[in-house]
Structure 1
Amino acid sequence: MKRSLAAILAIAGTIALGGCGVTPGDRAISGGLLGAGTGAAIGSLSGSAGTGALIGGAVGAVGGAVTSPNTINLGRPVWR
């Protein structure tokens, strides 16, 4: 139960914060990076940081790519 709650919170946070940039590519990159970091942190609690990073990165990239800059806009990404 504890792992499920942590995973749900990580996915929700990644999608919510995966909105840096105005193009879908920028948003996918920022979402993927945020998701990978979050997934690694949560995965390390269960002993599998690499798997957590892969899953979190994938979910974050998809979440960032499908969100609209009109809905969530955290500004210009640092790589621009």
Structure 2
Amino acid sequence: MTNLWTRRLNHLGLAAAVLTLSGLGACGSMSGRDQNTATGAVIGGAAGAILTGGSTAGTVGGAVVGGVIGNKVDPNKK
């Protein structure tokens, strides 16, 4: 039974990654700041989910924090 759940979770993770990457493909018309915000939210949400064992609050909290950090990153700063 454990192997079945592990395989399902692996497939779910792969599907989430594919959907995320295909969604980010639509970022071509977004500004650099908008792209950074979206990327930060995705990475933060994934990190929050991993660190909290998949809790909704951890995922949403991570996405919010990641989005704010991504928004503050200046792509033109050298």
Structure 1 CA distance for aligned equivalents of residues 46 and 52 of structure 2: 10
Greater share of residues in helix: 2
List runs of 5+ in structure 2 lacking aligned partners. 1-29
Could you tell me which of 39, 55, 59 is aligned with 1:30?
39
Could you give the per-residue CA deviations for residues 42-77 of structure 1, whole angstroms, max 9, x where no partner exists?
A: 111xxx6211101000000000011111458xxxxx
Extract unaligned runs of 5+ from structure 1: 1-20, 73-80
Provide the alpha-carbon RMSD of the alignment: 2.2
Moved over 4 A (4+): none
Higher relative contact order (CA 8 A, sep 6+): 1
Larger Rg: 2
AA aligned opposite 1:55: G
So what's the TM-score if we normalise by structure 2?
0.55
Q: Percent identity?
A: 24
Paired residues, what number? 49
Quote the offset at 1:38 in angstroms. 0.2
Give the TM-score of the pair, scaled to structure 1: 0.54
1:68-79 paired onto structure 2 within 5 Å: 68-71=74-77
